[in-house]
Structure 1
Amino acid sequence: MVQAVVLFQEQELSIRQLERGDVDLLVKWLSDPAVLMYYEGRDRPHNTEMVVESFFGDQGSGEARCIIQYESKDIGYIQFYPIDEEEIQKYGYESYHGQVYGMDQFIGETDYWNRGIGTRLVRATVEYLIAHKGATKIVMDPQVRNERALRVYEKAGFSKKKRLEKHEWHEGEMRDCWLIEYDA
């Protein structure tokens, strides 16, 4: 059996690379209406084919797709990547000369919500991206209405930079998002 590649560990929290055997986990999480309310949309429950296409297709250069573990239990998903030219333009970083990374994540096991794990995860990932990937800014674009996630990100040192009008298709409509930034 091949040992999972752990990218980093901080006490009982760790991040390991996504593996083919994780398809069923992602299907479980991405068919849970509580998770879909914030990630992908309740009108888009994922089946195996959708998960394989979305999570195991082409990866961008430098992109990492990972499983979040807490006390050795798989509880969620995180990805991070250098932002591409389209995002550089959209977010207004054309004249910025540092390394900008984007990240997205969700805790799929709802029993692990509201326990401070998300804040620890985001802080640990930021530290990893700065120390190991040379990130000088880290950005995310959560929906404006996702106040719980925004509180987590602000506790982890992110600040709102600009409102992105009608930025993300979610549950049948274009939703506003915040561009939030961590400046290393």
Structure 2
Amino acid sequence: MRVFQTGGLAVRQLSAVDYPLLAKWLSDASVLAFYEGRDNPYNLAQVEQVFGSKADRHVTSCIVNYDGTDIGYIQFYPVAADEKEKLGLTMSKTIYGMDQFIGDPSFWNRGLGTQLVTAMAQYLCQQLHANQVVMDPQTWNTRAIRCYEKAGFHKIKQLPRHEWHEGEWRDCWLMSYPLEEGGEMP
């Protein structure tokens, strides 16, 4: 099922037929360096287990397609009340989180990540009525952070020792989209 399309970029819901492609991407060291960690490659059985259970956790998993080629993965989910509280977010707002990667490195450095993140944030706000969209990239991942900033996200605060990656706890940035009227953070 198509979630949205803008120009040559299309996002559709993940299905079991996509699992081998995810296993390919999530066993590629160049992708894993930025997503999940090179010490955590996935085989097909792990993809089936992890991605098959995401719907039970209210996560919408999607494949990103560009001009007819599947190039990446994106997921979005409503941020639960306990997570809002932990992150210091406004409890009464509809807040979505999202995570993504371009799984085919030949499509890196083309601006497609910025296009994807911009389009998904707009979709979440316009179609799902999100007041705010958040992400938590690791602080060392400057390429991703710059992509998200180009898409309209802003750093809210640092999250110390927030994510386990390649054998250690890593600091992350809590980033938010959009700025509210008057330039205040949501």
Indicate whether the TM-score tops 0.5. yes
Residue by residue over 1:37-82, the C-alpha shift from the partner in whole angstroms, topping out at 9 and shown as x without a partner, is 0100000110011111111114256531100000011000000010
Give yes or no for contact 2:81–2:91 (8 Å, CA) kept in 1: no
Aligned to 1:180: 175
Misfit runs of 4+, over 6 Å: none
Residue by residue over 1:91-113, the C-alpha shift from the partner in whole angstroms, topping out at 9 and shown as x without a partner, is 102x4422100000000000000
Quote the offset at 1:6 in angstroms. 0.7
Aligned to 2:50: 54
Three-state SS of the structure 1 residue aligned to 2:11 is strand
**Unmatched 5+ residue regions in structure 2?**
181-186
Q: How does 1:36-75 map to 2 (within 5 A)?
A: 36-60=32-56, 62-75=58-71
* Equivalent in 56, 59, 73 of residue 77 of structure 1: 73
Three-state SS of the structure 1 residue aligned to 2:55 is coil
Three-state SS of the structure 2 residue aligned to 1:59 is helix
**Unmatched 5+ residue regions in structure 1?**
none
User: What is the RMSD of the two structures over their aligned residues, measured on CA atoms?
Assistant: 1.2
Number of residue equivalences? 179
Aligned to 2:184: none
In 2, Cα distance between the equivalents of 1:55 and 1:63?
9
Calculate the TM-score normalised by the size of structure 1.
0.94
* Equivalent in 96, 110, 119 of residue 105 of structure 2: 110
Q: Percent identity?
A: 51
In 1, Cα distance between the equivalents of 2:56 and 2:117?
21
One-letter identity of the residue aligned with 1:90: K
In 2, Cα distance between the equivalents of 1:170 and 1:59?
24
- 1:127 to 2:107 alignment: no
Residue by residue over 1:5-64, the C-alpha shift from the partner in whole angstroms, topping out at 9 and shown as x without a partner, is 111000100000101001110000000000000100000110011111111114256531
Calculate the TM-score normalised by the size of structure 2.
0.93
* Equivalent in 20, 27, 45 of residue 23 of structure 2: 27
- 1:91 to 2:87 alignment: yes
